[in-house]
Every structure is written in structure tokens, then in C-alpha cells.
Structure 1
């Protein structure tokens, strides 16, 4: 998805919800694995973090780095991993950027405040650890969520109820017969990611590479997200299933490239945007904690860091 979606959602006021900015990275597969370790000690750097806004941590204090438009937090999961592994100074380079697609790994990315150089430029033969959190913007997942929220608002305003769990007005826009538009986009991303991981291996041949999946945005048991997300139960299921499909592709592609996959979906179940404010990892449409709309808060970034550290064979602190 293009992680910075800055269009407001007019009409959501009817439900008491205002969508001011959606920057979405992508979902989870929920198949249980958190990446495997080979028993070796975690690398101590140099460490390069590549990725989109789910990696960068927009709106989470404190924001640092250049360009400012990438909205990186010094409490995002790469920073927390580097802190835990005691990787400091020039041995840690976080070049993630809100809005990044796979294409922005190899080309400069324009932001609202400056240009982020190609993320691959941070890699070198001396790099020993690489994390990659990318792919959601390539399938336009933020736009999918925006449309589903809009559909849910209009559905309720025009008299639709939420009693029927099968009601999914947004899904009907994307799925017709055997044609699933979102699934097609996920399939198209597969080859792009394969080439990107091949390039990571070429530029950083001695590095251990970890592809980081996306945490759960919506509940795993379906149901009504209420005013927090303004989605029908059927569309909650639809979006959740698309997240799982995306994460499954990321896992398969990582394993095919000889990289490790980090599952952040499983540990984040029950901490989605519809869960209790004091336990959620993902903020809802109107954030209650410092974070971008429908993005990880600091608790979520800590949980993602713990998942990465577990995959590295380190011993993370409890979230």
C-alpha cells in the first residue's frame, strides 16, 4: 500500500469517525512461525533497516532522521532491535520511509518533506544484518481500507445493518466471480519482491536477511469493530484475509530467497486496532496514542522488535 494516505474521509462524521491519514503497511498470515534461528549468535552489525511506514513508525515520538517526510521514529522496531543488540552509530542505518514501495528500494523516493535516496544505497559488502518490511503499498492496501471504511459508513447511513455477518459491501467492489483484484495485486508483487531480495543478496552477500511481516490490523475472529473502524463484519473478514494472503506471499518469497521470515501477525493477535486502548498495537482511524492512523503505536513497534529479536535468537524484553 502507499503508506501515506492523506485524503480526509468526508461523510465519516455521520459515524463520528474522521479518517485523516491512513498509512498502511500490510497484514499477517497467522500461521504461527516467528522465523527460525540457526543457533548462531545474533549479528552485531552493521545493520540496515529497509521498509515502509510500518517500519518507520510515523507520528511516534521522537521523529528523527532525514528527510523529515519519511517520518521515522527513534522508537520504531529497527531502533529497538539495534538498541537491544547494542548496534550503534554508523553501524546502524534506518533508511525506511513512509509511503515506500518495492520500487523505492532501488530508486529515490519523493516525500512531502525531502527526497529519500534509494534504500539499497545503504547496503554494502560489510552489512551483516538486514530487515525488510515492504509490499503493502504495492497492492494499494491503504486505498482498500479507505474504500472499505467509506463503504461501511455509507452502508450504515443508508440503512444497512450489521446483524448479517456476511454483509460485505466493500468486498463486492473487489471480488467478482473468480476475479479477486487484491489477490491479483499480491501475485504481481511476488516477482518484484523476488528481484528485490536477489539485489539485497548481491549488495550485502554476508548479511543475514529477515523479511518482516505485518501485524494484525483487525480481529482474527471477525465481528464488529464498531466506531473504531466503521467496517461491516463481512469486510473485517475480507481485509483480514487479504492481510494473511499478503503475509503468506512474503513468507514464501523470503524462504525461496534463503532469507528468514518474521511473523508479527501471530504475536499481535488480540492487539489489533479494534482491541482495548491499553493493549492495542495498531491505532484505529482516529489514534488515541501517538501514531499514524491504522499504524503501529510504540507498543506495536516494541512487539515487532521482539518478534525480530526472537527470530535472531536474541532474548527480547517482554512487550
Structure 2
């Protein structure tokens, strides 16, 4: 910003002010030790541009954790989210990235515990009634079994990183239901699948609150950008099949990244 001449700042004073502002901003960003945990939604499956060194975890350079780290330059960044992760495999394979120096961590987890991939396959290949049964079974699991598993995981996360701020992100609705053209699943199946996301997010939100973590709901951000909206931020059935029903690169940058930023801002 140009300093008006009427303020009569000397060149030296202006330089000192500018240097102070720059240093304080850099110090704030550099003070973060960020760890990104979770499943395929955090790894960035569906966004492309995968890091070959991540193997079957399929971590993408276009995933929201990497985008945030690129923009903010934290002092350290550990990206350990992995495709297919559950609460158990996060506990056994990812928590080593957390320690007493961790100041910020993010996670998406729970969808694989509830068998959401299998539910999607059932709904794509079978009748409405078979789909509804699969969805209801997943919702029952999300409401009755998942809370305890999340409580255990979140407690372990807090023990590993007692000073960290934890942001837990939810899952979007998959389908836009208010108009639009949608070829494939019936309205009955699409409505049921959205209700499964609601059940999952409700459970995750409640567990986050019990743990003292911040829950960031991405459903409002993805609203009007679900499948069948005409401006989709999610992959439909694709090849490779593992990308199906995951955020695209735009879903990561315009959906999950703002959701994570909202969660971080809640701590301020």
C-alpha cells in the first residue's frame, strides 16, 4: 500500500513498519506445526496429481492439506492421510505423526468405518429396497458403534498432541435434489444416500464436541455443487473406480480448503 505524502513518513520509518508487519506475519505462519490425518477425502483421492511416494494412500498435491500448507508455509507439515483409512488404521498407522510440538491437525474419518463404499456399490447395482437396507445399516452403525470408536481415536489424538488445535471435517451430501438433470440413481436412492451423510456428520460433530475439537461442516459449502447440480465438485462413477464419489480438484480447493480455513478461524 502506498503511504500518502501528507503523513510525512520518512523512507526509513516506512521501511521499518513494513519490515515489522512482514516479520510478524511470517512468524505467525512459521509457528504452525501441521499434521493432516484421515481417509481419502483428506488424502485427495479424486483430485488427481498423486504423489507417487504415497503409494496406495494416493495423497494428492491438490488435496486441501497440501493447498493450505503451500499457502501458509508452516514450520513443519506432515501429510499422512491415506485412502481407505478407518478409525482403527488411523490409530495404528497415522498417530505417530502427532507429538507435543504439533500445533494444528486436521482429519476426516468415519465413512469407511460405516462401509460407505460398499453402500454406494450396493445402491448403484441393486434395487431401491436393497439400497435402503444398506443405507439404514450404515446409519445404525454410525449412530450406535461409531461414536465410541471416534471417542477412543480423538482421545488418543489429544494424548499424542496435548497442545494442538484439532479441526475435524465432515462429509458433503453427494446429490443435489432441487432440480437439475441426473441420470442414474433414483430419487429414492439419492435421498437415502444424503441422509446417510447427515447421520455420519451428526455423529462426527457430536464426538468432536465431546473431545473439545472443532467440527467444520462442509455440507453448506458444497450446497449446489453436489452431483446432478450442473456444477459438480464431486466425481460421479469414474475410471479408476476408486475416484468415484470423491471431491474433484475443485471440490478440494473450493470446498474442503474453505472448510478447513473455517475450522482454523474458529480458534481465533
User: TM-score category by the smaller chain?
Assistant: 0.7 to 0.9
Aligned to 2:113, what secondary structure does the other structure show?
A: helix
Shift of 1:224: 6.6
- Aligned partner of 2:175 in structure 1 is 218
Question: How much has 1:45 moved relative to structure 2?
Answer: 1.8
**Separation in 1, partners of 2:167, 2:56:** 25
SS of 1:247 mapped into structure 2: helix
Higher helix share: 2
Q: Are 1:231 and 2:185 counterparts?
A: yes
Unaligned runs of 5+ in 2: 1-27
2:195 equivalent to 1:244: no
Give the match's secondary structure for 1:296: coil
Query: Is the CA contact 2:119–2:131 (under 8 Å) kept in the aligned structure 1?
Result: no
Instruction: Specify the alignment match of 2:154 in structure 1.
Output: 197
Of 298, 301, 308, 2:249 maps to 298
- Does the 8 A contact of 1:104 with 1:119 survive in 2? yes
The answer to whether the Cα contact below 8 Å between 1:223 and 1:236 also exists between their aligned partners in 2 is no
Distance 1:151 1:223, change over 3 A: farther
Q: Return the alpha-carbon distance in structure 2 between the equivalents of residues 73 and 261 of structure 1.
A: 23
Runs of 5+ consecutive residues of structure 1 not aligned to the other structure: 1-40, 108-117, 153-167, 315-319
Contact 1:46 1:128 (8 Å CA) reproduced: yes
Match of 1:106 among 91, 98, 104: 91
| Residues in 1 aligned to 2:49 and 2:132: alpha-carbon distance in whole angstroms | 41
Deviation, 1:281, is 1.0
Between Structure 1 and Structure 2, how many residues are aligned? 237
What do residues 273-293 of structure 1 show as CA deviations (whole Å, max 9, x unaligned)?
2222xx3110111379xx811
Task: Give the 5 Å matches for 1:137-156.
Answer: 137-151=112-126
Moved over 6 A (4+): none
- Give the equivalent residue in structure 1 for 2:141: 185
Which position in structure 1 is the counterpart of 2:99?
124
Q: Is the 8 A contact 1:130 1:208 kept in 2?
A: yes
Is this contact kept in 2: 1:222–1:237, CA < 8 A? no
Distance 1:129 1:66 in 2: 24
Following superposition, the deviation at residue 223 of structure 1 comes to 8.0
Q: Match for 1:209 among 166, 183, 198? A: 166
Deviation at 1:85, TM superposition (A): 2.1
Give, in whole Å, the separation in 2 of the partners of 1:251 and 1:184: 16
* Bigger CA radius of gyration: 2
TM-score by length of 1: 0.69
Higher RCO, Cα 8 Å, sep 6+: 1
Which SS does the other structure have where 1:239 is aligned?
A: helix
How well do the aligned residues superpose, as a CA RMSD in angstroms? Answer: 2.4
CA distance in 1 between counterparts of 2:48 and 2:138 reads 33
